[in-house]
Structures are given as structure tokens and as C-alpha cells.
Structure 1
Amino acid sequence: MGRYIARKRARFHSFGREVNIPWGAVLEEQDGSLFWKGKLLCSVTSQNAYDYFSRDDDGLGKLRGQLVGAIKDRLEKRDKEYQARWNKVWADPKCQQYKRPEHEDWWVWNYDFYNAPIPDLQYIAALVGAGRG
């Protein structure tokens, strides 16, 4: 059994019910699914898991979530440096290990990115100018 943490408030529909999970809430992972208060929410590989939750088995889930959020926010910012940041990501070997290979023409972060070791996320954050989250 694993542990995840809500890295931001999670509001979505799950199995026909509205979910509203506060920031910092602890979720349990069992057999690849996330549970909150004993109720099944989603798969650990679902978009909802990627958008709202961070693995916390090592006690670093809050920091992992901050870094993931900071990286994604920085890369989504449409300013004059937008393409330059993405060019760095596309060219970087460390980043390549976190790209889903089935998408050749655009970047989609894979499961491993959302569960990456803190030093890797700090590296990517520094690469794109996101700081430490």
C-alpha cells in the first residue's frame, strides 16, 4: 500500500459522485488505484491523479507536488520565452526519460515524471526557470 497527497484542491467527478478533496489530504494507493476515506477515486495513471496528487511514500509528496506544479506552470506560460523553454525540454536527455514516447509531435509527461525523484524535478525546474516550486 502506498501513500499520496493532494498537491492542490481536487474537484472532479469520480464514479458518478462529486469529489472535493482539500490540499494536503492524504490518500492511500492500493493495486494502482487511489482511495480517499476508503472510497475509490481513480487510477494512479489517470489524468486526475496527475493533475491533483503526488506520491508521498518518501515523505516528500508536498515538495514533489510543488515542483511538478511549478514546472508545468512555467512551461504553460505564454510569454516571449515560451518556445525557448520548450526547446530546452525537448533537447534535454534527462527530460526525455519523462516524455511519453507515443506522442512524437508534442510533449506529454509520463507517469514517471509525476513520481520522479526530487533531484530530477529540481533539475527540470531549474532548466525551465521554475525555481524550486
Structure 2
Amino acid sequence: MQYKNYLCRKRARFDGISGQVNIPYGTALICQDGFLMHQNKPLCGITSQNAYDFFSQNDDGMGRERGDLVGRILSKLQKRDAGYQARWNKVWEDSRCQKYKRPEHEDHWIWNFDFYNGPVEDLRYIAALIGA
């Protein structure tokens, strides 16, 4: 599926395809030919780490919540406290989470494109699963 509308889910500061960018939270962007565009200039590829780190799909009008959930999930899973391994075990064991794991990494979890653009209901489920 090709999404067209995106929101900046947190301030984006990075070297983009067209140079240095500084995009405020909540800024609307579009996807064109596989690239996120801002002010008619390409920023990054839609499947790039910059796209995953800063932008959320908004075709359904749920971009702000999607971005918030993705951020909370990632933050909770990165927290190295006593519950770190237990949270990751829940993700690894959950069949609903499995569709969001990149299959080419058998022994390491890397979220795929579908996670960053996932249905808000699935992201709410994952957040609740790990207590995010």
C-alpha cells in the first residue's frame, strides 16, 4: 500500500536528500514516488530510518496518535530496567506482533515498514502489551 499523507511526529532535524532540514512537530508532508516531500523538495525515502524516526502516516487522520504510540512503544522497549527482557519476551511471543518484525533478521527484532504505518488498533494493543 502506498500512503500519501504524513505528519512529523517529533521535530525532524537531519541531513535530507535536499540538504539540512528542521521540520516542526505536526507538519504535514506528502509522499511522492517513494519519497517524503516538504516544500516540494524530497526529504528521505519512505522506508528510510529518517522516515521511521520522524514521520507517521496520516491518510486515516490518525497520524498524531500513530506517532505517539510508535514513540511510546519504542521508548518503553529501549528502557534498560528490570522489566526490559520481559517486555521483549512478550513481543517475541505474541502472534499479533510477529507481522511487524522484519523476517530477514531471525535472532534480532527490527520493526518493519508496516509497524511504523500500522493500524492504530494494533499499535494500541502492542503499547498495552508492554505497558507503554
TM above 0.5, yes or no, is yes
Distance 1:76 1:18 in 2: 27
Aligned to 2:118: 116
Equivalent of 1:69 in 60, 68, 71: 71
Within-5 A mapping of 1:46-65: 46-65=48-67
Report the residue type matching 2:41 in the other structure.
K
Q: Over residues 1-58 of structure 1, what are the superposed CA-to-partner deviations in whole Å (9 max), with x where a residue is unaligned? A: 7110000000000126111100000001112210001110111100000000000011
Distance, in Å, in 2 between the alignment partners of 1:27 and 1:37 is: 8
Q: TM-score if structure 2 supplies the norm length?
A: 0.96
Show the 5 A alignment for 1:2-21: 2-15=4-17, 17-21=19-23
Consecutive unaligned residues of structure 1, counting only runs of 5 or more, are none
1:103 aligns with 2:105: yes
Superposition TM-score, scaled by structure 1 size = 0.95
Unaligned runs of 5+ in 2: none
Which whole-Å CA distance do the structure 1 matches of 2:58 and 2:41 have between them?
19
Is the counterpart of residue 92 in structure 1 residue 94 in structure 2? yes
Q: Which whole-Å deviations, capped at 9, do the CAs of 1:71-92 have from their partners, x for residues lacking one? A: 0000000000000000000000
**Aligned pairs (5 A) from 1:21-40:** 21-40=23-42
Once the two structures are overlaid, the 10-residue window that deviates more, 119-128 or 16-25, is 16-25
Aligned-residue identity in percent: 62
Name 1:83's counterpart in structure 2: 85
